């Protein structure tokens, strides 16, 4: 793929002007080639980034979208005894509920705190 040359020149104090031209880099994840444009290089230069990008846009998007794998722990529900998985390591002495039992729990109300009568202030 041939890309047009949209070079940018940046004047640098005490030095000759830096020229940015489109460069083809290789993604460290998938091995595909991607273009590091002159505009992106200018942005990197302005932000004083020292390293070139290592990932293509697709791999960067995949990483940003939550490519993280959440560890699931198999356990037994304390309320109904059903086998379930939870996204955390249960600690000893604390009840662990399955989704159905957790959703049956009453919602703690904030109304009690907001209905408290204000006390009068003595002058």
The pLDDT of residue 43 is 94
Identify whether the C-beta of residue 16 lies closer than 8 Å to the C-beta of residue 10.
no
The pLDDT of residue 36 is 94
| Residue reference for tokens 């489109």 | 22
For the four alpha carbons of 47, 50, 51 and 52, in that order, the dihedral sign comes to positive
Q: Is the pLDDT of residue 15 over 50?
A: no
- Containing H/E element for 25? strand 23-26
* Domain-wise residue ranges, the chain: 8-64, 69-104
pLDDT digits (tens, 9 = 90+) for 60-96: 888 887 756 667 889 999 999 999 988 888 888 889 9
Q: Is the pLDDT of residue 16 over 50?
A: no
Q: Is the pLDDT of residue 50 over 70?
A: yes
The pLDDT of residue 63 is 84
């Amino acid at each position: 793929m041939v890309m047009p040359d949209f070079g940018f020149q940046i004047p640098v104090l005490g030095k000759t002007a830096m020229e940015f031209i489109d460069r083809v880099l290789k993604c460290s994840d998938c091995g595909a080639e991607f273009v590091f444009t002159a505009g992106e290089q200018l942005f990197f230069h302005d932000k004083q980034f020292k390293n070139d990008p290592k990932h293509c846009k697709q791999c960067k998007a995949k990483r940003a979208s939550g490519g993280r794998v959440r560890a699931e722990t198999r356990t037994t529900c304390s309320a109904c005894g059903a086998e379930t998985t939870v996204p955390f390591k249960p600690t000893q002495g604390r009840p662990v509920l399955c989704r159905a039992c957790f959703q049956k729990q009453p919602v703690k109300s904030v109304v009690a705190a907001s209905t408290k009568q204000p006390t009068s202030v003595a002058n």
